[in-house]
Amino acid sequence: MQNRWAEAPQSELESLVYQSRLVGMEEDLVLWGGGNNSIKSRAADLLGNPIDVMYIKSSGSDMKSIVPKQFPGVRLDYIAPLRQRVEDMSDQEMVDYLARCLVDPASARPSIETLLHAFLPAKAVLHTHADAILALTNTRGREKTVRACFGDSVILVPYRRPGFRLSRDVADRFDAQPDAAGLVLMNHGLITWGDDARAAYDRHIELVTRAEEFARTSARPRATAVARPAPRELPPAIRGALGGRILEFDDSPETLSFLARSDAEQLTQIGAATPDHLLHTKRFPLFLRESDDLREALAGYVERATAHYRAHPSEFAMLDPAPRIVLMAGVGMWTAGKDARGARIVRDIYRHTMRILAAAEDAGGYETLDDDDAFHAEYWPLELYKLTLLPKEKELASKIALVTGAASGIGRAVAERFAEEGAHVVVTDIDLGLAEDVAKSIVAKHGLRRAIALRLDVADEHDVERAFDETVRAYGGVDVVVSNAGISSFGKLDELATADWDRSFAINARGHFLVARAALRVLKAQGLGGSIVFNASKNVTAPGKEFGAYSVSKAAEAQLCRIVALEGGEHGIRANMLNPDAIFGGSRFWSEEMRTMRAQAYGVDTERLPDFYRNRTLLKVEVTADDVAEAALFLAGPRAAKTTGAMLPVDGGVKEAFPR
């Protein structure tokens, strides 16, 4: 591993931040909030008196992007007496005590490893979950393996869950061997120290490099594999079986190479490499053979998880027993999370787990936590308590919404509103550039992979199928489809070109059919129900003169919606339609030619056309794209769970358009 230290930070805290970011950029050291580091220093108390303090990484902060305020200071004079405490200290007692040790009570919560760092006399301490170290500690005869790599230069500490007792054990072992180069925590990681942050980092990189070199001497040649596509209906079926979590698919060469090992299934069923990994990935993945029935395989997995829970008395209710990972040799890996970030975390961690499994097996045989330790790691009270602090889920949390014509106007407003309510949005449009702009703005606001952009011509059958295939690959399936794309077409019937009539039907009728058909196939494969919302227009019930092609094609769309409701009902699939009118803001529908034609038809000036539409409504209001998006959200979400085949006007009250 390369030593990347190249700067000379001006203060101790700046050095700690710099060290964190160097460590955080190395995925082979830490992932997604893992690891912790600290430095002991001097500060002043509330009265200005000098005190010894320790700045330590806050719980859950990410080392690669950490900032100084994420290193809370704790008073060492308050912590030191705990080293002599005889009785045990529960995790909650420890957390409550540490809260009272903060120099600034408003600081973030310090790491669960705070006592471990504080009890070590060294000025700077660094702890990571380095892959190369875990490959040594997760072997049969692990002490022998670690000694074969490092000799007696490192301290070995048997596995114990993080907390007060581990902190004291580490300190006792350090006192017995203070000249050691580092300390290896079995099934947990590596700790190094030094007179400053750089010294602790230098020593860390040196030991990890030695472990990497040791692993290379025993590594077996990698198997090669050529990816084959999964059955088309499999990813939605997996998503449905996992309760509708967001999926991420990985068929990288590294993953396929691991799955091509003859012992891949056996290795994956031994257990996670560390408690930190287990909390995200669960103890085992579901290894799916090509001949397996998914439902039967999942039932077997759940039965195994349930038996594991029942074998260990617990005050906590059983966690979701479904897997977070599904593996299939020759195809790849699906990882699941409540959102795309969660699925990515599971993916990244299990990629590293596969490396550890392979390296440990090659070095002497993979072995990890036993049943009891694994159970108490998964049902760790501190982690379960965090679940109770999660905010209430938003209306479309964990939902995947595909919106057609989403680059502008109503479609864009729908995509952005759905994202506000927690949906992962597939922004489709014939103009890919504009669609990408919308998707990027959603990701910037809502986070990793919360939107993707796809080019989609709804009149092209192959394009529609491709868009749904790419959606399934990106997220595992779909829950909501807003079939919004449409075009305007105007002209008197006796003057209208056949090509214009056909084009209107290709987009406004056939396009909605192709989208609905593709959506129904995915929704049925998932078995989770779903919602399709059609943007049908006021013209369904109140056609306009010189607007025949548009009005008739939209009427066909409305009838299509009713048929979808009839055929989808038994599968829990709802279909409803919106009937907006005259949405001007940000819409490509109202071209200059279109505005001029409609203004002439109503005998008003072009610039006064929006006022004409507003004044003809009963409420005398302007209807915006945001108003339509709010109605789409209602029909798409749980508030309309018992509504299907419905028509919802969003027009300010156009009496001619009253359903009749």
Coil, helix or strand for 609? helix
Closest listed residue to residue 162, CA positions, set 126, 136, 187: 187
Coil, helix or strand for 409? helix
- CB–CB of 319/379 below 8 Å? yes
Determine whether 655 is exposed, middle or buried from the number of CB atoms within 10 Å of its CB (0-12, 13-18, 19+).
exposed
Question: What is the rounded distance in angstroms from the CA atom of residue 628 to the CA atom of residue 646?
Answer: 15
For residue 550, indicate whether it is catalytic.
Answer: yes
Tell me the two tokens of residue 481: 């489809």
Tell me the two tokens of residue 81: 């007496």
Question: What is the rounded distance in angstroms from the CA atom of residue 12 to the CA atom of residue 183?
Answer: 23
Whole-number Cα distances in Å, 9 to 14, 124, 289, 438: 6, 15, 53, 40
Pairing outcome for strands 647-650 and 400-403: unpaired
Tell me the two tokens of residue 225: 């594999």
Tell me the two tokens of residue 507: 């987009």
Tell me the two tokens of residue 388: 């109770």
Query: b/e string for 424-459 if b means 16 or more Cβ within 10 A?
Result: bbbbbbbebebbbbbbebbbeebeebbbbbbbbbbb
Closest listed residue to residue 232, CA positions, set 454, 469, 479: 469
**Rama region for 495: left / alpha / beta (φ>0; ψ in -120 to 50; rest):** alpha
DSSP secondary structure letters along 434-465? HHHHHHHHHHHHH-TTSEEEEE--TT-HHHHH
Kindly list the strands in the beta sheet with 480-483, ordered across the sheet, starting from the edge strand earlier in the chain. 451-455, 424-429, 400-403, 480-483, 530-535, 573-580, 647-650
**Rama region for 620: left / alpha / beta (φ>0; ψ in -120 to 50; rest):** left
Token look-up 């156009």 returns: 654
β partners of residue 574:
531
**Given the residues 159, 366, 550, 613, the one annotated as active site:** 550
Work out the number of other CB atoms within 10 angstroms of the CB of residue 634.
17
Q: What's the start-to-end Cα distance of the chain, in Å?
A: 74
Question: What is the rounded distance in angstroms from the CA atom of residue 157 to the CA atom of residue 172?
Answer: 10
In sequence order, what E strands does 5-146 have? 36-44, 50-56, 73-75, 124-128
Catalytic residue set: 550
